[in-house]
Amino acid sequence: MTKPLFPPGRPALCLAPMAGFTDRPFRQLCLEYGADLVTSEMVSAKGLFYQSKKTRALYFAKPEDAPFCVQLFGSEPAVLAQAVRILENDLGGQLLAIDLNMGCPAPKIAGNGDGSALMLNPSLAGRIIEAAVKNAHVPVSVKFRKGWDAAHVNAEAFARVCEASGAAFLTIHGRTREQLYSGAADRACMAAVKRAVSIPVLANGDVHDAKSALETLRETGCDGVMIGRGALGNPFVFAEIRAALEGKDDSPPSECERRELALRHARMALSEKGDHAMIELRKHLAFYLRGSRDAAKIRARINACKTLKELEQIWG
C-alpha cells in the first residue's frame, strides 16, 4: 500500500529539500523523529537526462527505506519528462512524490532560467508541470517563492497556474528571490496562496520550533509546514512540533543528546559513504554544536579530523 502523502487529522510535518544536506542518513533521522514527508537534495533534470551517475547518487536509497520525495530542477519540459521516467524506473515504490523546484534563489540555478526564475515565466512553468504530471505515476508538487522581487510578487497567480497544470500540492516559501533568506517569511502571502487554490499547501520559512510552527499554521491556514534550516542539527524539531500539536510538553534535547545524535549521524554517513564523507559531514556537525559549550573550539577540532575514530575521540 502506498504511504499517504499527508497524515489524517493533523498538519503535515515535512523536511524541505536542501542541497548538500538532505541525503539518506539525514532523511532517515528526520523520519525517525517524526517527519511525515522527507525530500532528497535538489536533483538536476538535465543531469538525469544525460545519465549522470553523480546526479543519480543524490537520491540513493536502500530497499528498506520508507518512500520519500525527490526534487527536480530544470526549465525544459521534455528534459523534465525524461527525468521523471528515469526517477520512477530507479526508485519504483520508494518514490512517494516528485517535487519541482521553482523557488531556488541561488545565482547558478536562477541565472540559468531554473528555480525561482520560472516565476517570471508562468506559462513555461505550467508546461513543465504538465510534462512531469503526464509522465509520473506519483503525485507531482511544486515549491516556489513569494515572487522574484518586490516588483514581481505573483505567488497567488503562480499557485493557480500550478494547480491548473496538475500539481497535487504546493509549498510556498514566504520570501522573494531577491530576499534570499533575509527578513521575515511573509505569512500573509502563504495564507493568500492557501486561499487561492483547492489543493494542499505547505508553509515554508522561519519554522524552527513548536512555537513558530503553531503560529505559522494558525496564521496561514496551511495544511502543514515544511522545515528546512530549522531541522539542521535538530531532527528533534519534528518530535517537538508533534508533541505541541497533541497538547503535550516536549523538553528540548540536552547537549548530551545532541552530541549522541550527531555521532550517530556521523556513523551512518561514514558507513554509507566512507571516510571521505567526513568533509561534507562537517557542516552537519556544526549545526549540532549550536549553543554548546566551547562550540568554536570543538568545531575547529572537528574540521581537522578525517576519520570516525578521531571524531569519537574529540566528541565521544
* Overall pTM surpassing 0.85 (yes/no): yes
Instruction: Show the beta-strand stretches assigned E in the chain.
Output: 12-15, 37-44, 68-73, 95-102, 140-147, 169-176, 201-204, 224-227
Task: Give the three cell numbers for residue 119.
Answer: 516565476
What span, in angstroms and rounded, lies between the C-alpha atoms of 232 and 50?
31
pLDDT at position 1: 41
Q: Which residue has the cell 556521523?
A: 266
Q: What pLDDT shows up at residue 250? A: 78
> Residue type for 224, please?
G
Buried b (16+ CB within 10 A) or exposed e, 156-175: bebbbbbbebbbbbbbbbbb
Task: Assess contact for 80 and 45: CB atoms under 8 A.
Answer: yes
pLDDT given for residue 291 in this prediction? 81
Backbone angles phi, psi at 208, to 5 degrees: -135, 0
Calculate Rg over the CA atoms of the chain.
19
Find, among 273, 234, 257, 207, the residue nearest to 58 by Cα: 273
Each domain of the chain, given as residue ranges in start order, spans 12-245, 255-315
pLDDT at 190: 98
Strand residues in 16-168 grouped as ranges (E): 37-44, 68-73, 95-102, 140-147
Cβ atoms within 10 Å of 13's Cβ, excluding its own: 28
Q: To which residue does cell 549540532 refer?
A: 288
C-alpha distances (whole Å) from 167 to each of 16, 88, 97, 117, 176 are 17, 17, 11, 19, 21
Does the domain at 12-245 match CATH 3.40.720.10? Answer given as no
Other beta carbons within 10 Å of 6: 17
- Rounded Cα distance between 196 and 198, Å, is 7
Q: Which three cell numbers stand for residue 104?
A: 531556488
**Which residues, in sequence order, are bridge partners of residue 69?**
39, 97
Positions marked active-site: 104
Residue 28, pLDDT score: 96
The residue ranges of the chain whose pLDDT is under 70 are 1-3, 316
Q: Which of 172, 46, 171 is nearest to 109 (CA)?
A: 46
